[in-house]
Amino acid sequence: MYGEISVTQMEECTEKECVQRKLQVVSGAVNVTITHLQCLFWKESLKPSDMRNLLNLIAVVGHLRTEHGSVLIHCCDGAGRSGVFCALNNLIQRLRAEDEIDVFRTVKDLRDMRPHMVRTFDNYMTCYKGLAEFRSSFDTYANI
């Protein structure tokens, strides 16, 4: 209980270094089920241990967004890892739709909404490496 709000964990499973939890949130007559994802492969101030895990997380979040609507992305400071995730997600969507991307512009647009997103060289490199990994897997599957 958190005041008038009750939160109950309904399910939990771990797959590909990502914990997925179903939470039931009740406040009065309002009853909502939330899916909470926690990535274990990307510690604060470090690069993701495996880019494929990050791309898988982006795919899972995309599926959840399609099925359930809004998604909240957060990390400890709301800008570092969250910024990289949002930038890479946006870049992948644009690459699929237009086959053309601009990393600098994408990050600038995100920073207009949330300052300090993708703030380090390593953050930028994670975006580029994620795009390279996505593109190589995309090309492989496109040729099958």
**pTM of this structure:** 0.83
Percent of the chain with pLDDT over 70: 94
Predicted local confidence at residue 111, as pLDDT? 94
For residue 27, the cross-strand partners are: 5, 30
Which of these, 96, 68, 36, 44, lies nearest to 88 by C-alpha position?
96
With 70 as the cut, is the pLDDT of residue 142 above it?
no
**For the chain, domain boundaries:** 1-40, 43-142
Predicted local confidence at residue 49, as pLDDT? 85
Averaged pLDDT, 110-129: 92
> Band of the pLDDT at 144, cuts 50, 70, 90?
very low
CATH architecture of 43-142: Alpha-Beta Complex (3.90)
Predicted local confidence at residue 47, as pLDDT? 84
User: Would you call 4 exposed, middle or buried from its count of C-beta atoms within 10 A (0-12, 13-18, 19+)?
Assistant: exposed
